[in-house]
Chain A
């Protein structure tokens, strides 16, 4: 299949980027990243600078493969990361726009690569349990309701990719932060530090310069792990209650 790619090229964080046009001959069985590999091979052979993009696991679990495809983070398919998106979802002759995740809190490093260390700093501010929880527990040693466990697990599937920020018209990080707060909040081990965690993570999120959530739910629609915006309500609730009740 012949494709026309409009790829965002930007030499570094300071430079002003722009879309460059490339023609690529891809195979419908390729993943989107393999198609980009073909493009880069072409560029290298022609002596040009290959397109910088991030990838690691290529199996939908690491969250590295950040890019906006035709205006949608991780492309057109629901619940799918870029690396799991296959070229059979495009048609021969398609024009595809590819650009980086855009947010002031995610500055561009080069081409499609952005600096998402803001997320790391949010996690460092409180997204953990600071006691040693020991070996894996025997099943049912700590009673947790099935529904609660499932909800916690759903929140825990967030891979920290940042698509929620890229999708949001306000570049808000609420879906990510709420998922990270929720998967601990729903477990007994997460209770002790809950109030402190909520306060620190929200403060760090604000410091990083993410925008204010206005409940458009674009995040929920674009999240490759289909994290629910119900978690955002939980974060709102937890923040208000912890502000009113904690020391």
Chain B
């Protein structure tokens, strides 16, 4: 085995993949959020639609987005493989279950939380990303520039209370997933030192609350106020 395959297939290497792809996704979320915030603007969808056009047209962003889809899949598949291997290593399930676990709940539920997030992402991609790319949706024109009218689709979707509920629940799930994942990614990379680890932990906690909260506010605003 070459040193590279050896590295990536070892138990530590598998987690390295989880950590690096996870950090990439962590960087992506605020970028996505900035786009979404334009949904709240009162301009008939101009800024949001122009932004969506830019995101699907720019070749650099297109390349990065394919990287992103690849990383989401890699993160999900690798995560499931690790989960399966770990279940097998436990030595039987007849353990006494009455004891109180000394660990954080989210740290033990990463696989389950991750599955919910995967379902959310698939539905999300179908509803918006697929429609934007290949769906037969209407167009809008702003100052002579024609765009697909994703804005109206989103507004329509976010007027359905059950979807907004699912969206908000998914954001809570993502929050818990991030609560463990953020600091865990640094531990796996070996980036641990008393000089900065407390800061990483605090930042991780703030991030895992603020980002999902900001995402969740948007559909709630559209459903209840707009």
Contact = CB atoms under 8 A, between A and B. Distances in A.
Among B16, B95, B103, B180, the most chain A Cβ lie within 10 Å of the Cβ of: B103
Interface stretch (B81-89, B128-136, B209-217): B81-89
B36 to A, nearest CB: 30
Interface in B5-61: 6-7, 10-16
B98 A102 contact: no
Nearest to A71: B99
Contact of A170 (B90, B92, B97, B190): B90
Interface stretch (B104-112, B145-153, B154-162): B104-112
Contact of B95 (A99, A104, A211, A240): A99
A157 B10 CA distance: 27
A205 B11 contact: yes
Contacts of B10: 202-203, 206, 239
B130 to A, nearest CB: 33
B90 A212 contact: no
B103 A217 contact: yes
Contact of B14 (A105, A106, A212): A212
B96 A102 contact: no
Contacts of A196: none
A212 B82 contact: yes
A160 B197 CA distance: 27
Contacts of A107: 91
A208 to B, nearest CB: 10
Interface in A210-241: 210-218, 221-222, 229-230, 232-241
B184 interface: yes
Contact of A210 (B15, B89, B188): B89
A169 B6 contact: no
Nearest to B111: A214
Interface in A14-64: 17-19
A72 interface: yes
B11 A202 contact: yes
A70 interface: yes
Nearest to A220: B102
B66 interface: no
A104 B110 contact: no
B89 A99 contact: no
A243 interface: yes
Interface residues of B, number: 41
B3 A243 contact: yes
A236 B187 contact: yes
A171 interface: yes
B190 A236 contact: yes
B103 A221 contact: yes
B91 A234 contact: no
A97 interface: yes
**Interface of chain A: mostly helix, strand, loop or mixed:** mixed
Contact of A236 (B12, B91, B95): B12
A79 interface: no
Contacts of A170: 86, 89-90
A215 to B, nearest CB: 4
Contact of A215 (B94, B95, B107): B107
A97 B99 CA distance: 10
A163 interface: no
Interface string A90-122: 000000010100111111000000000000000
Contact of A97 (B13, B88, B98, B192): B98
B189 interface: yes
Given A202-B10, A218-B102, A70 B96 contact: yes
Contact of A102 (B82, B91, B108): B91
Given A237-B189, A237-B190, A213 B11 contact: yes
B180 A215 contact: yes
A170 B107 CA distance: 11
Interface of A: 6, 17-19, 68, 70-72, 97, 99, 102-107, 167, 169-172, 202-203, 205-206, 209-218, 221-222, 229-230, 232-241, 243
The 3 closest A-B pairs by CB, nearest first: A71-B99, A237-B190, A233-B192
27 contacts: A19-B96, A71-B95, A99-B96, A102-B95, A103-B91, A104-B88, A106-B91, A169-B103, A170-B86, A172-B89, A203-B10, A206-B10, A211-B86, A212-B11, A213-B11, A215-B107, A215-B180, A217-B107, A218-B103, A221-B102, A232-B187, A233-B190, A233-B191, A235-B12, A236-B16, A237-B191, A240-B12
